[in-house]
Chains A and B, each alone.
Chain A
Amino acid sequence: MHSQRSSHSFPETEVPADKANLLLLRAARQRAAGRPAGQTGPPDYGRLAEAFRRHTALDEAGLGPELARLRNAIHRAPPRPPTLWGRAMAALGGLLSPVLWRLMRALGVPNPFDAVYEALLRDSERQLAAEERIHQELEAIRARLEELEAAHRNGRPVH
């Protein structure tokens, strides 16, 4: 049954953002502008957000997601088929998983994935920090070269 009734035009139900709460937002902006800046001000959230995205993107090339998943593997039994066998496995998993978890905690056995994953995260962060340092040094060299060129063109001595 294919109805001929076409529903391709949908009413615009979206409320334009900021319209209803314009005054509140204006007051919020004013307050934010009046807060201290610099050392006593907020951290550079923009830079932190950018770094967060770069770190997450780096996970794509590594084993991070898999290790992180394994780290939590015994916390919860996955969904099973709604069959007799599936239900039996779910019941077994439900019984064993907390026992295993408690046993490991009682014995003080550290989750081996924790250490590996932490090392991986530290490595990726170190790599990004090194990239940023190299980038900054290259920028400084470029700026110095431009300065030397300008001085040479003007016939001024360079220090």
Chain B
Amino acid sequence: MKPPAVLQFAPQLCRHDAVGNEVFALRTMLGLLRIECHVCCDHTDVSSDWRIHSRRRAARFRADTSLIHYSHGSASYREVFSRPGHKTLVYHNITPPEYFRGANRSMEEASRRGRLELPEYAFRTDLALAHSTFSARELAAAGFRNVAVLPYVLWEPLYRLAPDLSVARRFSSDGWVNLLTVGRVAPHKRLEDCLFVFDYFKRFVRAKSRFFIVGHWDGNEAYLARLQRLVAKLGTPDVHFTGRVPQETLNAFFEIAGAFLCLSEHEGFCVPLVEAMRYGVPVFAYASTAVPETLRGSGVLFAEKSWPVIAEAIGLVLEDAALRRQLAGEERRAAEYYSAGAALERLRRCLEQRVFGADAGRERLPAVALEVV
């Protein structure tokens, strides 16, 4: 009998991108489960030794299921979904187009198209996987019948990279507080709200503080320009837009951060929250969409955006070492749910029950024990 095989497809695969990282994480995990995995895409920025194939070559690979990563509209989905064989849609959720209005026309269009075409694929999909119950409900509403929740799979090797020491040398152990937010600079992240919180924090709570906005702004340059003008208008010093950073630098930012801020209005999962939880950085987040679910009861949630109250809450936590330790402990415990071991077991169960379960003659997938990271 041939070994089990899976094909993964995403229109665009980039380094340091949520979709790209999950594709590579899944490939590693499938390898541990002794499942062959091929990765295909239309566009990529990763080098050829990462074994990425073009969509045209996908037909050459035998696969028990195709994992089709869906995060925006693309012309290639029509062709991929019309192929024969078992298909699994991996839903990364789609930021509603309204958020890109005035910021990026092509993103607005890709988002509108992605949401509009999603129901078309419901009848061509055998299994739909969502990263959160929030996203799962969207899939059910779009007409998908066999929907399961499989939380985002983090790519472990990224977190084992040694943090960039130059960041710590420059920004830690100097008595200053570092506030951090991570994610692409995009309108739905509502970074203007984060800037208001930081402005208040710096004026009234802690003058010796910095705010790092870590993430790229590709396609959202107009939004970035507006944010930079807002910073100038407020006259807030020590706001750093870092742009795209290597993983080592990102790890270093998490290590020096005193608090993590997320006031996003739309998240299908929110990977940076889990990263902050793993590092035990107190999280202060607006309770929108899948954010509360991702935090799993840890962190400090706000039902409304009162900028001064959020800033004061950060100040209170930073003043109280015991409270800070308690929050960090809760977050680390909650983050274990997303550990490599737990994710691998979830993936194994999901594939066995929902994909390979149909093939009675096939051997069970091997149970692989992984250390909980």
Interface residues of A (CB under 8 A from B): 1-3, 5-8, 10-18, 20-21, 24-25, 27-29, 31-32, 35, 42-43, 45, 48-49, 52, 55-60, 64-65, 67-69, 71-72, 76-83, 86-87, 90, 117, 121
A77/B45 in contact, CB under 8 A:
yes
Question: A1-B126, A10-B149, A65-B103 known; A17 and B302 CB under 8 Å?
Answer: yes
A45/B200 in contact, CB under 8 A:
yes
Beyond A15-B296, A25-B300, 8 extra complex contacts between A and B, CB < 8 Å: A3-B354, A10-B149, A15-B293, A24-B313, A32-B308, A52-B226, A68-B224, A121-B226
B312/A31 in contact, CB under 8 A:
yes
B233/A48 in contact, CB under 8 A:
yes
In the complex, B306 has a CB within 8 A of chain A: yes
CA distance in complex: A6, B312 (Å): 45
User: A19 CB to closest chain B CB, in angstroms?
Assistant: 8
A64/B196 in contact, CB under 8 A:
no
Q: Which of B42, B52, B221 has the most CB of A within 10 A?
A: B221
In the complex, B83 has a CB within 8 A of chain A: no
Question: A3-B146, A5-B146, A81-B54 known; A13 and B222 CB under 8 Å?
Answer: no
In the complex, what residues of A have CB within 8 A of residue B287's CB? 14-15, 17-18
Chain B's closest residue to A117 (CB) is B225
CA distance in complex: A14, B47 (Å): 40
User: B273 CB to closest chain A CB, in angstroms?
Assistant: 13
A43/B44 in contact, CB under 8 A:
no
Interface stretch (choices B25-33, B132-140, B164-172, B175-183): B132-140
In the complex, what residues of B have CB within 8 A of residue A55's CB? 226
Identify 8 residue pairs between A and B in the complex whose beta-carbon atoms are under 8 Å apart, listed by A's number: A18-B302, A28-B312, A43-B234, A52-B230, A68-B221, A76-B244, A82-B44, A87-B48
Chain A's closest residue to B290 (CB) is A14
Chain A's closest residue to B244 (CB) is A76
CA distance in complex: A97, B88 (Å): 38
In the complex, B204 has a CB within 8 A of chain A: yes
Point out the residue from A10, A16, A48, A121 that lies within 8 Å of B137, measured CB to CB.
Answer: A10
Question: A11-B133, A13-B293 known; A65 and B102 CB under 8 Å?
Answer: yes
Chain B's closest residue to A9 (CB) is B140
CA distance in complex: A28, B204 (Å): 12
B147/A7 in contact, CB under 8 A:
yes
Chain B's closest residue to A72 (CB) is B221
In the complex, what residues of B have CB within 8 A of residue A5's CB? 146
Q: Which of A6, A12, A31, A71 has the most CB of B within 10 A?
A: A31
Question: A18-B303, A43-B234, A56-B226 known; A31 and B316 CB under 8 Å?
Answer: yes
* 0 or 1 for each of B308-346: is its CB under 8 Å from A? (1 = yes): 111111011100000100000000000000000000000
In the complex, what residues of B have CB within 8 A of residue A10's CB? 133, 136-137, 140, 149
CA distance in complex: A1, B203 (Å): 60
User: B230 CB to closest chain A CB, in angstroms?
Assistant: 6
Chain A's closest residue to B225 (CB) is A68
User: B289 CB to closest chain A CB, in angstroms?
Assistant: 10
A65/B221 in contact, CB under 8 A:
yes
Point out the residue from A7, A24, A27, A42 that lies within 8 Å of B200, measured CB to CB.
Answer: A42
User: B123 CB to closest chain A CB, in angstroms?
Assistant: 8
Point out the residue from B103, B295, B297, B302 that lies within 8 Å of A56, measured CB to CB.
Answer: B103
In the complex, what residues of A have CB within 8 A of residue B44's CB? 79-82
In the complex, what residues of B have CB within 8 A of residue A68's CB? 221-222, 224-225
